Chain A
Amino acid sequence: MDDLVLARATFGTTMAFHIIFATLGVGLPLMILLAEILFQRTRDRDYELMAKRWTKGQAILLGVAIPSGTIAGVQLSLLWPGFMEVVGKVISLPFQIEIFAFFLEALFMSIYVYAADRLTPLMRLVSVFMILLGAAASAVLITNVHAFEGTPAGFRIENGEVVDVDPWAAFFNPSFFVTAGHVVVSAFMTGAFAIASVAAWKMIKSDQESREYAFHQKALLLGLIVGGSFSLLTALNGHESAQLLHRYQPEKLAAAEGLFQTQAYAPLAVGGFTDPETQEVKYGIEIPWMLSFLAGNRFDEVVVGLNDFPREYWPPLYIHTLFNGMVGIGSLLIVVGLLGFAWKKLLRRSVFPRWVLGIFVLSGPLALLGIEFGWIFACTGRQPWVIYRVMRTADSVTQSAGIGPLFFTFLAVYLFLGIVTILVFRSYFGRHPLELHPTDRPSGETAP
């Protein structure tokens, strides 16, 4: 493997690892805030307990999210010094502002975790809200840089020099709002389904008449309703994202769909594998006219195919599979959210059958998988560019040798930490089982 591949592998591994913790770190505070609000409105102490336990989970995740995010930030400079030079001159604002978001989150996380018992109810809400604000703002701001890489704006390169810099134009680059929105709503979706997963698992393991079952059912419903709503928003926003690709990065959309010939009435290929030799998607299902409609809201919209671009600028063709994975999981999760809502609120059944609970258990891991697919699609789909049509990834990589051992060291440490995190989760929640308040009203009802 050459140094470029190793550098990409190292950074990609860091991101793939960090994203798990970062996404849940954005999604869980929303659930904690909702539980706190529900508790303060209904005085149902189950919700207070939920907020407390989820905060412990959040604290464990943050223990990995903060340092792995630190690594991602510093690794950018270590592995991609050429890229960071342009970033420093043009798109440094989001990095800068993210630090403040980061501070906000760290300060209030410490306050909420270590001083919760000394806070007034209002300050508890304010603290959780600040954690949520800090986490969501961090996600928005770092996505800002990612959006800039795809749709660069606010500068020109003349004879290798960066000129005509307008940092705010770079900040408000064309894909910023849509892309950042996608990241945030999908993180809320993932956090909610993660909660639903754990709750469903606990319901399978407990007696249907017990207080535990009722407790977990409340958590499950909250997770499903929030998760379902945000997966719908993610899909709507995803549609915008695809239209953005059509306008600004047509070869990425073409590769995502395995489209070679430029055409009106272009079909949408679902599933299958792109074969560059025969220039078609093998074993996939084609929906006629659909791609044109999705890209431009009309069937005669002309969608540009890969053959209009020099082959060296083609993104890797396997992104078709990643794209399908992301969209497929997203659509599935909308159905899962609706199912839970309909069963409970429309059909008014009191218990879920075990096989339905089994589906709910899968929803959290699926959502995370969707997030991973989405990020890998977004970043490998931009190749060979690190800044679209401005700077090639190969031209921005470090000249240092010896990335190989680093890659394996980081990989080993991430594996180790991943395992330790799971053990800590098991150990902590194993030794702090649910302690419900027996004097409270039983399931279903809420106190006045």
Chain B
Amino acid sequence: MTDTILAITLVWIFVVIYAVAASFDFGAGFWSMVYVNRIDTKATSIANRYLSPSWEVVNVFIVLIVVGLVTFFPGATYTLGTVLLIPGSLILLLILIRSAFMVFSHLVRKYDKTLAFFSGISGLFIPALLILVLPLTQGGFIQTIDGVERLDWGALLTSPHVYAYVGLAVSSTLFLSSLLLADYSRVANAQQAFRVYRRDAILIGPLTLLAAVLTVVTMKTEASWLYERLLAYLPWLIASVAWFLVGYIALLIPPEQKRLAYAPRLAVVGVIIQYLLASYAYGAARLPYIVYPTVTIESGFTHPNTFRALFVSYLVGFAILIPGFVFFWRMFMKDEQYIQQK
């Protein structure tokens, strides 16, 4: 494994972790808004109980991705920074407003509903904007005028491929989060919330698959280089669909079956494996391009001395932090006293 492959693998792992964790996070914000008036189901309080301690930690990952990309591949910064100025700034503003209101709504009950609205709506818009980074860097949306790279908004807004991606991002956010919250409600013994979230997951699941297929189909015309490379990873994609089916069937098992009480957990795990496999296929097919066709992982790579120092700091840093993560997990995700709020 070369240094460049090692570096891009690390960055991609961060991207995938963030994509999954942020889907839980943003989706939970959305559901918390949707069910705010249905106090009887406890659906909102379950969502908030998951969301309150976790959003700060998830938020750190987006910084981790940007820092990882800039530090490992500074050569990509110029193009990415220039092209993403406007969409990137929009994402930042939404994250700022959302995070602020997350904290505020925890402290000030009076404005619960207004604040829940802000975090719910931004929970849908942020993933929709974030996903734009993928089609933008697949080529075709960057014009070079007078030696300056610019984003071609006309092409961006009229591209079916882009909308397919947006659909994929939004539906995945809702699917992953409703699935996770269903499992979380099960642990919390909140029967009604469990039924609500299970129903949502069953409804949205097929939509995510449809959006994924549309994304690949539109890719054929708009980024044919990537489409052809992606086909080389067809077995991975098929395995991904298979895991979706495993997860979805586990979800369809009637919840009254006592022997199969852990089926929702299986559904969560199956669907996460589905996304991991698909992410691997997409990421591997894209190599070596960070921005097609101008920036590759080789052309953008940092100085080798810096890479070595960075890599050591990653190893040391995560070795120190992992006990913290484990402690955090035990406090909020496994502690029954917290989850059930006895």
Chain A residues whose C-beta falls within 8 Å of the C-beta of B97 in the assembled complex: 413, 417
A73 B67 Cβ-Cβ under 8 A = yes
Q: B335 contacts which chain A residues (CB < 8 A)? A: 115, 118
**Contact between A99 and B317, CB atoms less than 8 A apart:** yes
The interface residues of chain A lying within 8 Å CB-to-CB of B88 are 74, 78
Determine if B262 is an interface residue (Cβ-Cβ < 8 Å): no
Q: Are B313 and A81 in contact (CB under 8 A)?
A: no
Q: Which residue of A lies closest to B108 (CB)?
A: A427
* A93, B89: Cβ atoms closer than 8 Å: no
**Residues in A whose Cβ lies below 8 Å from that of B78:** 81-82, 85
| CB contact under 8 A between A87 and B70, given known A99-B60, A110-B57, A111-B331 | yes
- Please tell me if B286 contacts chain A, counting CB pairs below 8 Å: no
Within 8 Å CB of A402, what residues of B?
A: 85-86
- Once the chains bind, are A102 and B63 in contact (CB under 8 Å)? yes
From 42 to 97 in chain B, residues with beta carbon under 8 angstroms from any chain A beta carbon are: 52-54, 56-57, 59-60, 62-64, 66-68, 70-75, 77-86, 88-89, 92-93, 95-97
Point out the residues of chain A lying under 8 angstroms from B149, CB to CB: 399
Residues on A with beta carbons closer than 8 Å to the beta carbon of B89? 75, 78, 406, 409-410
Per-residue CB contact flags for chain A residues 89-106 toward chain B (1 = under 8 Å, else 0) read: 110110111111011101
Q: Kindly state the separation between the CA atoms of A102 and B60 in the bound complex, as whole angstroms.
A: 7
Q: Helix, strand, loop or mixed for chain B's interface?
A: helix
Give the interface residue-count category, chain B: 35 or more
Interchain nearest-CB distance for A105 vs B (Å): 9
Closest to B324 in A: A107
Say if the beta carbon of A63 comes within 8 Å of chain B.
yes
Q: With A77-B70, A90-B306 as known contacts, state yes or no: A99 contacts B103, CB within 8 Å.
A: no
What CA separation (Å) do A388 and B64 show in the bound complex?
28
| Complex: chain B residue closest to A171, CB-CB | B309
CB-CB under 8 A for A99 and B64, given A81-B82, A417-B100: yes
Q: What is the distance, in angstroms, from B186's C-beta to the closest C-beta of chain A?
A: 21
**What B residues does A88 contact at CB under 8 A?**
70-75, 77, 302, 306
A67 contacts chain B at the CB level, 8 A cutoff: yes
Known: A66-B56, A85-B78, A410-B93. A165 touches B306 (CB 8 A): yes
B60 contact from A106, A424, A428, Cβ within 8 A: A106
Is A166 in contact with chain B by the CB < 8 A criterion? Answer: yes
B:308-324 near A, CB below 8 Å = 309-310, 313-314, 317-318, 320-321, 324
Q: Which residues of A contact B85 (CB under 8 A)?
A: 78-79, 398, 400, 402-403, 406
Q: Bound state CA distance, A283 and B242, in angstroms?
A: 80
Cβ contacts under 8 Å, A63 to chain B: 99-100, 102-104
Taking CB atoms, residues of chain A closer than 8 Å to B328 are: 107, 110-111
CB-defined contacts of B80 to chain A, threshold 8 Å = 77, 81
Which residues A128-143 have CB closer than 8 A to chain B? 130
Which one of A32-40, A54-62, A327-335 is at the interface?
A54-62
Given known contacts A81-B78, A110-B53, A114-B52, is B59 in contact with A70 (CB within 8 Å)?
Answer: yes
10 CB contacts below 8 A, A to B, read A64-B100, A66-B56, A74-B66, A81-B80, A84-B74, A90-B306, A102-B60, A103-B57, A107-B324, A420-B104
A contact residues vs B (CB 8 Å cutoff): 56, 59-60, 62-64, 66-71, 73-75, 77-82, 84-90, 92-93, 95-100, 102-104, 106-111, 113-115, 118, 130, 162, 165-168, 398-403, 406, 409-410, 413, 417, 420-421, 424, 427-428, 431
Q: A84-B74, A96-B313 are in contact. List 5 more A-B contacts (CB 8 A).
A: A67-B99, A70-B63, A74-B88, A167-B303, A417-B100
